[in-house]
Structure 1
Amino acid sequence: MSLTRDIEPSRHLGFGGGACTGRRPDPVPRQLFRDGNAAFWNPDDIDLTRDEADFAALTPDERRLTCLFVANLISLGEPAPQDLQPFVTAMATENRRDDEAYLTQLVFEETQHTQAFRTWFDRVGTGDSLPRFTESGDIRRRIFLEELSWSLYALTDDHSPAAQIRAAVTHNHIAEGCLALTCYTAGARICRSRRIFPGLLRIIEHIAADERRHIAWGTFTCRRHVAADDANWAIVTRRTQELLPLATEVIGEILAPFGLGAPFGSSKQGLMGSALNKASRRLDSVAGARGRRVEEVDHDHAPMHLEHEIATEAAGPRGKDVHQTVVPIRH
């Protein structure tokens, strides 16, 4: 059982950073933190010169759909520094230092993602129109402004495993694992199929790697709670079943203005089919923790291996003109 500590001045339990960890693998959040450090990138280093010209050459509908996909990602990243603070505090009060450190890195990365996409919008000349893309869609507003925010803010007063599971499923599995990665997949497909937007593609490659670490942490968090109490498995499945239909509707909402002829061959069925399959695989990973010891799950890198497998599949067979969209996770 974890020790608790108050988030108040002079109430720290001590300094454990120099403790010997032996030969065991790093706990999952500590390894994710290390991988995040190794994958550091700077949005200002990405050249967007060609993106500006490519954007100008698109049809109005093509420009609109591209902006909708990118704006959907800003809607997720921009509120994260504020919305995730209760989760950081929950980890701190449980004295889960590695999780606290990793969530702090996750918050930084979400801020970095927003910077990258805002810079891209400004460079292609649509920065002033951003609210038109980020504030549309009733279902999207419900999932981002209601379901996501409330599940995270519930942790302000409730640090229970159930509250943590609902927050992790909502943010890491649904918002990031389904909606964000679906938009990344769509954006990357646009870039590669037309050989346009090299800067945007590079941004997507970096951010998709970050997001997969975020998703792996969410899977890990659910796994450790399920290992601690098998009754928590029902909470994982119930929250997933509540939100997956909404995630599907969000993609349909984005494509609805274009009818059956959405630009770039985009379709709701095509975009969500793969996302739902991966959501099922992540649930299987959480189920794999049932009946296991918490200490064992804490050092089991299975969630990271799963995201590595998913990323390798997304990269496609060798020989095709595709780019791997993740920094490989060390096994």
Structure 2
Amino acid sequence: MSLIGDIEPSHHLRFGGGTCTERRPDPVPRQLFRDGNAAFWNPDDIDLTNDEADFATLSPGERRLTCLFVANLISIGESAPQDLQPFVTAMATENRRDDETYLTQLVFEEAQHTQALRMWSDAIGMSDSLPWFTESRNVRRRIFLEELSWSLYALTDDHSPAAQIRAAVTHNHIVEGCLALTCYTAAAQICRSRGIFPGLVRIVEHIAADERRHIAWGTFTCRRHVAADDANRAIVIQRTQELLPLVTEMIGEMLAPFGPGAPFGISKQALLGPALGNVGRRLDLVARARGCRTDEVDRDHAPMHLEREIERERSSPCGEDDHRAVVALKRPV
């Protein structure tokens, strides 16, 4: 069934403006929307004066690595406004107004991220060179032009739970939860290691906080479908296992030109260890939705609590527990 035929002028299943919300916790998407409003920031307010001077002090290799991470973050943000439209429409078709509302905010925030990072690239004089850092990356092209596009645009004609799960895992858990946050971690390490780029520090802090909410919505979406049908958990795990090798390969592809000693002490293991460990934690939270009522999952803020916990631990080194969480993904369901 095509979504286009279900969204028509003057056709609404019902209006919810007069609905009593009761004295209960907000549904997860509604609370995420409120949190996003409270955390609103304007890229134009960030002072980038010192960042240009800092960039001039870097070696060619350091400049290349910095621009590599920023360019990939820009490409992630640029793809979202178009690629996420089928997901927005799917939520509208199902009359999930809170999810539809939150996804519109998510799309806006991704455009905002792109603006901020492009302003930073303009400030250091590298905007015209950014495509060079992404266009020749083979694994990156497979993730973004095949896996991500396929999973999201499949929702144009299929908004089944399986299709929604594959889209949420691909976009929210893998592209945002692994790739984007890994690039933000690297950017933050670059800034901290030298005490440079105060403007980029502020941009990264704002964007990472937004991305945490995006990831939480993906976890929530998987949880509500697992609560509705236990068999959906296998789809979450399968899609995750399909994509994790590509994540590892893409980060390796990005760092390969620098050899064993990348600038700023950045390494593939240090970037991927916490990211892959947190994938396991999110999957554990999805699994805990089994046997729950869907209305309970709707108002269970556990995905948001998990992302706040992960953020508090962000500066901690990757430990053995993170490794075990990743290994557990390979066990039979």
Aligned residue number for residue 197 of structure 2: 197
What is the rounded CA distance, in whole Å, between the counterparts of 1:14 and 1:260 in structure 2?
59
Aligned residue number for residue 292 of structure 1: 292
1:242-281 aligned at under 5 Å gives the runs 242-281=242-281
Matched, 1:133 2:156: no
Deviation of 1:316 (Å): 5.6
Counterpart code for 2:168: A
Aligned residue number for residue 118 of structure 1: 118
Aligned residue number for residue 157 of structure 2: 157
Aligned residue number for residue 232 of structure 2: 232
What is the rounded CA distance, in whole Å, between the counterparts of 1:244 and 1:152 in structure 2?
18
**Deviations 1:116-172, CA, capped at 9 Å, x for gaps:** 111111110111111101212100111011101110000000000000000000000
What is the rounded CA distance, in whole Å, between the counterparts of 2:187 and 2:22 in structure 1?
43
SS in 1 for 2:23: coil
What is the rounded CA distance, in whole Å, between the counterparts of 2:17 and 2:288 in structure 1?
31
Deviation of 1:315 (Å): 5.0
What is the rounded CA distance, in whole Å, between the counterparts of 1:315 and 1:217 in structure 2?
23
Counterpart code for 1:233: R
Q: What residue ranges of structure 1 are gaps of 5+ in the alignment? A: 318-331
Aligned residue number for residue 206 of structure 1: 206
Aligned residue number for residue 17 of structure 2: 17
Matched, 1:78 2:41: no
Counterpart code for 1:164: Q
Contact kept, 8 Å, 1:6 with 1:12, in 2: the verdict is no
What is the rounded CA distance, in whole Å, between the counterparts of 2:119 and 2:138 in structure 1?
26
SS in 2 for 1:314: coil
What is the rounded CA distance, in whole Å, between the counterparts of 2:277 and 2:241 in structure 1?
14
Matched, 1:42 2:42: yes
What is the rounded CA distance, in whole Å, between the counterparts of 2:255 and 2:134 in structure 1?
14
What is the rounded CA distance, in whole Å, between the counterparts of 1:249 and 1:6 in structure 2?
40
Deviation of 1:15 (Å): 2.0
SS in 1 for 2:12: coil
What is the rounded CA distance, in whole Å, between the counterparts of 1:226 and 1:84 in structure 2?
22
**Deviations 1:157-207, CA, capped at 9 Å, x for gaps:** 000000000000000000000000011011001101110000001000000
What is the rounded CA distance, in whole Å, between the counterparts of 1:66 and 1:149 in structure 2?
27
Aligned residue number for residue 216 of structure 1: 216
What is the rounded CA distance, in whole Å, between the counterparts of 2:87 and 2:139 in structure 1?
24
SS in 1 for 2:314: helix
Contact kept, 8 Å, 1:74 with 1:134, in 2: the verdict is no
Q: What residue ranges of structure 2 are gaps of 5+ in the alignment? A: 318-333
Contact kept, 8 Å, 1:230 with 1:290, in 2: the verdict is yes
**Deviations 1:12-58, CA, capped at 9 Å, x for gaps:** 12321232111110000000000000000001110001000000100
Counterpart code for 1:284: D
Q: How many residues align?
A: 313
1:65-104 aligned at under 5 Å gives the runs 65-104=65-104
Deviation of 1:314 (Å): 1.4
- Mean Cα displacement is larger for which, 35-44 or 18-27? 18-27
**Deviations 1:236-270, CA, capped at 9 Å, x for gaps:** 00000000010011110110000011101111111
Cα RMSD after superposing both structures: 1.2
What is the rounded CA distance, in whole Å, between the counterparts of 2:114 and 2:75 in structure 1?
9
Instruction: Mark the CA change 1:264 to 1:124 in structure 2 (over 3 Å): closer, same or farther.
Output: same
**Deviations 1:250-309, CA, capped at 9 Å, x for gaps:** 110110000011101111111101100000000001001011111110100000000010
User: TM-score, structure 2 length as denominator?
Assistant: 0.92
What is the rounded CA distance, in whole Å, between the counterparts of 2:70 and 2:136 in structure 1?
13
Aligned residue number for residue 147 of structure 2: 147
What is the rounded CA distance, in whole Å, between the counterparts of 1:203 and 1:48 in structure 2?
10
What is the rounded CA distance, in whole Å, between the counterparts of 1:92 and 1:30 in structure 2?
15
User: TM-score, structure 1 length as denominator?
Assistant: 0.93
- Mean Cα displacement is larger for which, 9-18 or 163-172? 9-18
Runs of 4+ in 1 over 4 A off after TM superposition: none
Aligned residue number for residue 173 of structure 2: 173
Counterpart code for 1:292: C
